Structure 1
């Protein structure tokens, strides 16, 4: 058995290109964006520069205009993109577009590829993914979905309310998840491609959140008598939850890749201050408590990178990797938050500022432990799978198994 985490010369060259692009073209714009916000004009400008540098959309399929890198190769490149909070947007590998590109590529028809995928890969348009709903609707539990889809002549009519829909303001279209209703519709849920100019799809106000670097906000969306023709069904009717799995595991991991880059940036900033600043008669980096923070960050970053690349390799090899991606999402989301928190502590007062970037990373990264499945939900899933394996081992040995949920 061989374990090979080596990086090919070609991939290393592309990693170097991404790192150089982020350092020279993206990082200098950070303070402007932190002050004024990101606009679509600036996004297009950055993405044009990324295309010129040959680093655009590394994870997207080559036949649709992307870089065509394998998923495990993308882990290396997206980490470099994430070194700036603006990097993933510049390379068109940011959420939610990155996940939607993957989903439409694998489940869409040729006509949907032409109408939605190609413009999305090129950066001509943005998109959003509309599943999360106000309580008691879908959130960490997708089965609570309340938005409905009813069959009519030539298509479907959708009704419901969504909120915290990332990037909705200014998106050209949304992938909407709805629960099928009516005797003539299959059971389950269906995903729909809904154009932003559909009169039944209305983007409302932005919900103020602690993360603020993205584009298009986190919005309320009202869906009323929203007619969607049959050719805008994404995947098969009634198999929306199954199709969503195509998106979820890779999207969890690409979040991990990008935020790993941001956490590495935070650590580098704090480490450079620690070796350059004298306190109490010595360098900060020579003080024992500071050294503990530095060492713990080094360990967390290395462990997180290993977990991400292993899970990404499994997906690249064809595995669904649901449990592995859950483990990675839990570990990495917790680890990178620890890394950034320690970096802020090491940097002292300026560590809380956006001028040093650490303050903005700290704000933005906290939500990672919630979106794409809260840590507690993933832990529940991991524990249930572990208990099922233990139950099967006991049963195979002929030993008694307690009733599920009894505490036995």
Structure 2
């Protein structure tokens, strides 16, 4: 069953997401045209108490389960991505402190966030982009604490936030131990010691506060240091394992919204005397798009649970999730754009330009917290251990079992996060056994015979991917395209593992055979296996479901259908 908080948020937002409400399409479109911050919508989320879910329960917040957080942000994102980005940034701003801060520091920030304070994460600089170890903003010891000098740029909520978690160079030589994190309270800085940098105009999320901040002799107290001096880069990399996973909620929300628009359009549009939804090609597009959402949601759900259960493996899982889900979501939105035709590009005429806006807004998600290429590069670094673990069988079976939904998650322990997973990826290692159980389901009549053939193909493909990783040649300076191709294929092996494991756990989660078949058909197709008409029937049957219940169609997994639909 869905979390009660998600149900409450959905009901709360229904009061303001139509007509003249602050979340209404007209209001969102007007803010987008004017490139104006969605202040009223963010205040509504404050009134609901969403910010309390950004803070770990250990420090007085309501964050017990990262799946719940994903579904809450998804519920906002399916209304408007800009609002989700603007409000959800506070989770990113607090996460490093929850990972490495002192108990007093974390509890103090948690109390401020619950009271309405906005937090931001200041990592990047104008001349260095994602090369964080090239950062020039410095923090030098001085009387009373640390002196900050320099700029951070392209920071979400840099101007509107009160708190910033700032990565600063604390050793002139730089390097992995040359940077530290500081929790900066702008309200406590001396006048004139900092200034905002102007908002930058962007293609999507036009109303978000994408700006920067400059420090000129800003002195912060010793207790502003997050963790030990010199551990900033390590804390950032560990924290990204959380934020990369959670930010895929934006992609799920975008797909929810896009599918609803496309489904209602297909039902309401007539062509040559027939409803558009009656055309086989249209039904196929909708079915494939629904399968894209199924795969994206399965991967995100398992990854968010893994934060609690497979914590030492999150360096792999987060990279896979962040590379795969936004990419798959954008490909799916492109398919829906084909169905909508010119209406997908109209910024005013059709539904206040809702689809055009969500499409523009979503394109930035693949860049947040490390681009697709960055995440695949991190996965490539794991190739040797992934290949060894595949052959040696070092999977944590108990942790995989605990990862599947249906029981309360284990408390999150940030101390178990690792920069590299020495155990590989347990979920994928157990894929062959899971596929054997799937074949048994076919023999017992739970699935059609075609599922057994898909299991055979997945077994061979997964073995080939791991063999390729084992023999992949690369140097520090030369990572060939073949390595990135293998990384993309491994992501799909992870997706298949998530789908099969979730179906095997269907006694508790009610994930059905159609959901599994449609998802695996899409995964195999992206791995190079053509979709024949036998398999394509899964897409067509999925389209039937979408068209039969258009209000609730975007919620793909049965565990979430009880939410009562999407607006």
TM over 0.5: yes
Q: 1:240/1:358 Cα in 2 relative to 1: closer, same or farther (>3 Å)?
A: same
Runs of at least 5 residues in structure 2 that lack an aligned partner in the other structure: 392-469, 481-567
* SS in structure 1 of the partner of residue 79 of structure 2: coil
The 5-angstrom pairing of residues 1-400 of structure 1 reads 7=1, 11-26=2-17, 28-30=21-23, 31-36=26-31, 37-40=36-39, 42-48=41-47, 50-51=48-49, 57-62=52-57, 66-85=61-80, 89=84, 94-113=87-106, 115-122=108-115, 124-135=116-127, 137=128, 139-181=129-171, 187-197=177-187, 198=189, 199-212=192-205, 215=208, 217-317=209-309, 319-320=311-312, 321-354=314-347, 355-387=352-384, 389-390=386-387
Give structure 1 regions of 4+ aligned residues with deviation exceeding 6 angstroms. 391-394, 400-403
Do the aligned partners of 2:54 and 2:90 also contact (CA within 8 Å) in 1? no
Structure 1 residues 175-226: Cα deviation after superposition (integer angstroms, max 9, x where no partner): 110111269xx942111122224333221111111123554x1113222222
Q: 1:231/1:66 Cα in 2 relative to 1: closer, same or farther (>3 Å)?
A: closer
Q: 1:249/1:283 Cα in 2 relative to 1: closer, same or farther (>3 Å)?
A: same
Do the aligned partners of 2:60 and 2:110 also contact (CA within 8 Å) in 1? no
Q: 1:392/1:146 Cα in 2 relative to 1: closer, same or farther (>3 Å)?
A: farther
Q: Larger helix proportion, structure 1 or 2?
A: 2
Q: 1:58/1:129 Cα in 2 relative to 1: closer, same or farther (>3 Å)?
A: closer
Q: 1:56/1:226 Cα in 2 relative to 1: closer, same or farther (>3 Å)?
A: closer
The structure whose Rg is larger is: 2
* SS in structure 2 of the partner of residue 170 of structure 1: coil
Q: 1:292/1:327 Cα in 2 relative to 1: closer, same or farther (>3 Å)?
A: same
| Equivalent residue, structure 2, for 1:4 | none
| Equivalent residue, structure 2, for 1:3 | none
How far 1:12 moved relative to its partner?
4.4
Residues in 2 aligned to 1:407 and 1:181: alpha-carbon distance in whole angstroms: 30
Range with greater deviation from structure 2 (257-266 or 28-37):
28-37
Q: 1:257/1:212 Cα in 2 relative to 1: closer, same or farther (>3 Å)?
A: closer
Runs of at least 5 residues in structure 1 that lack an aligned partner in the other structure: 1-6, 395-399
| Equivalent residue, structure 1, for 2:432 | none
Provide the TM-score with structure 1 as the length reference: 0.83
Structure 1 residues 303-349: Cα deviation after superposition (integer angstroms, max 9, x where no partner): 01111111111102250401111111111111111222222332233
Residues in 2 aligned to 1:210 and 1:25: alpha-carbon distance in whole angstroms: 26
Provide the TM-score with structure 2 as the length reference: 0.61
Do the aligned partners of 1:353 and 1:360 also contact (CA within 8 Å) in 2? no
Residues in 1 aligned to 2:473 and 2:60: alpha-carbon distance in whole angstroms: 53
How far 1:144 moved relative to its partner?
2.1
* SS in structure 2 of the partner of residue 211 of structure 1: coil
* SS in structure 2 of the partner of residue 244 of structure 1: helix
Residues in 1 aligned to 2:82 and 2:317: alpha-carbon distance in whole angstroms: 26
| Equivalent residue, structure 2, for 1:397 | none
Residues in 2 aligned to 1:358 and 1:407: alpha-carbon distance in whole angstroms: 37
Residues in 1 aligned to 2:387 and 2:45: alpha-carbon distance in whole angstroms: 51
Q: 1:271/1:41 Cα in 2 relative to 1: closer, same or farther (>3 Å)?
A: closer
Q: 1:249/1:402 Cα in 2 relative to 1: closer, same or farther (>3 Å)?
A: closer
Structure 1 residues 91-130: Cα deviation after superposition (integer angstroms, max 9, x where no partner): x9943201223332333334434543212133x2212211
Residues in 1 aligned to 2:389 and 2:45: alpha-carbon distance in whole angstroms: 53
